[in-house]
Structure 1
Amino acid sequence: MTEKKRVLFLCTGNSARSQMAEGLLRHLAGERFEVLSAGVVSSFVRPQAIAAMNELGIDISHHRSKSWDEFLDTPLDYVITVCDHANQRCPVFPGRVQRIHWSVDDPVISGSEEMQLEAFRRARDELQERIRAFTQKIGPLNSD
């Protein structure tokens, strides 16, 4: 069996985009990847992110927000920043880490609950497309 590749998703607060990306990659290809997420700072996992992921049958309610400081000594294969702020502030991780940047719009907006949830759905769907493309480069995905 091939060793799993370790992927760390980063965003500003590890509250939405990186949390959804972690859940998506684990769901789509968790047998091939060890998936982690963190933020420039830790905060909390936004309920809208949990709700948007639940719509796909992916439960991230048990996730906790983490700072990237927790992973500075962790061997990684890929670091994927999912917002411009995290990309600009991203620290140097040890080893031969491949850095990838995806500029995904911040889903945190003001407005009605439905408008807010729709912004999270858009971010989730963009992340899902990018994750599918990322995993296709490495090998086939699960079909679910």
Structure 2
Amino acid sequence: MKILILCSDNSCLSQIAQGWLQSFDRTLIVHSAGISPAIEVHPLAVQTLASSGIDISHHKPEAVEKYIDEPWDYVITVSRDAEENCPAFTGKVRNLIHTSFYNPARAKGTPESIAGEFRRISNQVKMKMYDLYCDEIQNGGYGPTCTCGANRFCRCN
């Protein structure tokens, strides 16, 4: 299963989403990219995931153009900018999912409050990626596994 996660600069949100999604299933091939990639991954994104045992310190921001000709099972946008500026992929894309999160790199305040914002957003991203993994990706990209649509919350059986 090949998954590409897009955001505006590939320094924060998409890196966090990539780290979480990869942590749920090591057999997934997960990449992330940006519309206009930054120079480096945001240090607080690295630190926040490290506190959960996920190492993204070796990640580097990539341009979406690097991946545009490849086939993907999923392309997931995690920012409004990425959704609005998502390029047309020449490779086959089976599933395109748009979601959006507040970018904690824009947070203002004390170092403690900014770190708290990174943790809060990381938890939101974790839950969304986990829901996507359980509801669609784990099932091979063929949608819900339960006819009621509740999937992991199903009480039908």
Query: TM-score, structure 2 length as denominator?
Result: 0.82
In the TM superposition, 1:75-94 aligns within 5 A as 75-93=71-89, 94=91
Structure 2, unaligned stretches of length 5 or more? Answer: 140-157
Question: C-alpha offsets along residues 90-124 of structure 1, whole Å, 9 cap, x if unaligned?
Answer: 01112143110111111121211111111111111
User: Which stretches in structure 1 are left out of the alignment for 5+ residues?
Assistant: none
Matches within 5 A, 1:29-108: 29-31=25-27, 33-43=28-38, 44-93=40-89, 94-108=91-105
* In structure 1, C-alpha distance between the alignment counterparts of 2:114 and 2:16, rounded to whole Å: 15
Partner SS for 1:97 = strand
3-state SS of paired residue (1:77): strand
Closer/same/farther in 2, CA of residues 54 and 96 from structure 1, 3 Å limit: closer
Query: Structure 2: how far apart are the matches of 1:122 and 1:80?
Result: 20
Cα deviation for residue 42 of structure 1 reads 1.2
Q: Give secondary structure in 1 for the equivalent of 2:15.
A: helix
Distance apart, 1:30 and its partner CA: 2.1
Identify which of 108, 120, 127 aligns with 1:110. Answer: 108
CA distance in 1, matches of 2:108, 2:129: 27
> Does 1 or 2 have the higher relative contact order (CA < 8 Å, sep 6+)?
1
Deviation at 1:87, TM superposition (A): 0.3
Q: Partner residue of 1:123?
A: 121
RMSD: 1.2
Q: Which amino acid aligns with 1:106?
A: N
Q: Larger deviation: 131-140 or 80-89?
A: 131-140
Bigger CA radius of gyration: 2
Moved over 6 A (4+): none
Over the matched positions of the two proteins, sequence identity in percent amounts to 33
Q: Deviations over 1:69-91 (max 9, x none)?
A: 11011111111000000000001
Could you tell me how far 1:50 is from its partner in structure 2?
0.5
Match of 1:24 in 2: 20
Q: 1:65 and 1:72 mapped to 2: Cα distance?
A: 15
